[in-house]
Structure 1
Amino acid sequence: MQTIRRVADLRTAIAAYRADGDDIALVPTMGALHAGHMALVAEAKLAAKRVVVSIFVNPKQFGANEDLSRYPRKEMADSRILAEAGVDVLWMPGVDEMYPDGFATNISVSGVSDGLDGAARPGHFDGVATVVAKLFNQVRPDTALFGEKDFQQLAVVRRMVADLDFGIDVRGVPTQRDDDGLALSSRNAYLVAEDRAKAVALPRALGVAATTIEKGGDAGEALATARDTLTAAGFTVDYVELVDAETLGVSASDRARRLLAAARIGGTRLIDNVPVNEQG
């Protein structure tokens, strides 16, 4: 595995792969890798001859009072895991390489980024779209893999790719979960034992709500019950919403729908989502 930190060196490596006729898959990450990330890597290896994994803790997607300074960083462990998995390139630029002096461009994707986490974390998805666009231009992949756990992020990236004609196949990979159902996340490392035990209420509440809606129950009541359940479990709820799976707008029963939630337990903010399917 090549570990590359400069754009010029990355382009040399990519050019060599292209000269050999190899296709390329990209897995963008912020590091602190877990089984969820490695599921993306496994899918990337099936999608292309060469796999590039990026690790970059992107300051532009963190708000002023968010966890940039304490976000877990495990460079050596991550590098070892990726090498053992057969990754071809670990792209690990520094902040100065990604955002050099004078950097002044911002990408904003309206619509899909407006509500949910877009409302709870102003500017977050501008930061996501900007860094992902840069990664796409740096690596020039044929395919890019993103986890469905960050479902709104996936929708934002897909909209940007379509609008800006990137010509990249953006694939979502199903959420990976612990045995008790909690979605795998680098931020789970923040959870103390007591909060980790309570955190399972999030996927369970979503599962109950989804089942209720699928069986024809009132969606508003199901969402309210999920919020009440999470509050009783010790969460502070940001949102629990049923949305159109493509636009993330108001859902219609004849289209694919998604139930999304964000809530805080202790000092940790967790997000999760599940599909809502029609019965019959």
Structure 2
Amino acid sequence: MKKILVTGANGQLGSEIKELASHYPNFDFIFTDIDDFPLDKAQEIITNFNRIQPEIVINCAAYTAVDKAEQDQEVADAINHQAIATLATLCHDSGAKLVHVSTDYVFDGTSPVAYSEEDQPNPQSVYGVTKLAGEKACLKNCPESIIIRTAWVYSEFGNNFVKTMLRLMTERDTLSVVNDQIGSPTYAADLAQVILTILDSPKWEPGIYHYSNAGSISWYEFALDIKEIGNKSCDIKGIPASAYPTPAERPAYSLLDKSKIAAVYGIEPVDYKTSLKRMMYQLQAAGGR
């Protein structure tokens, strides 16, 4: 039985891995979060890693407050970069496998086509800069790692765009949503399944992979889908990102090319709307969490 350490286990992705854990009886999962495995303290990472002695690490933990990171650079770097450098070194030295989750925010959003793993990153925010630094440290200290870049993550767990929209559509008659930032959402349950599929695979091919759900939409179009599936009556207006300024700059176009993960692991992305319907059904069944 392989011992798998999951960091950030109470977040969206970690929570979805918990939901799937019982389907993998050959894996012994150790779920940790900030209270018992803080990533902003290097010595505690080392102590906890040596205590657990995992064979595989899935790093779901990250500093994801994109706007707050513009002022909170030191903490964002500690969690998104320095902690990954430490984890990667520990994995390499012990022979443990490492799966690290990264983001579309490593790109500047100026590409006319979907970003491949070979495209040059050029982050425009502190969050993106720290996540890219984490990727580089991961591959430098543990070249045998797998990094999965994802985008627009949502789940029935935690806080995210889908749950926020559902709440606002109930509270308000009208909403304005940005219509000139293009990407593809990712249901965290699908991403969790992708990671466990890779870990259960007979092969381990290190490197960077892209995964999100299939489709290309704006946040505005995503909101319209949420309205339709949720049977809401709120009036939704599309606005340019320039009308809704934020401290951190977001990529205007961050669609991810998923052909590599399909070619190497046979993983085909699920259509985003299919996954959105599934998530909203699960959310309703769980009473809104």
TM-score range, shorter chain: 0.3 to 0.5
Structure showing greater relative contact order (alpha-carbon pairs closer than 8 Å, 6 or more residues apart): 2
Tell me the TM-score normalized by structure 2. Answer: 0.35
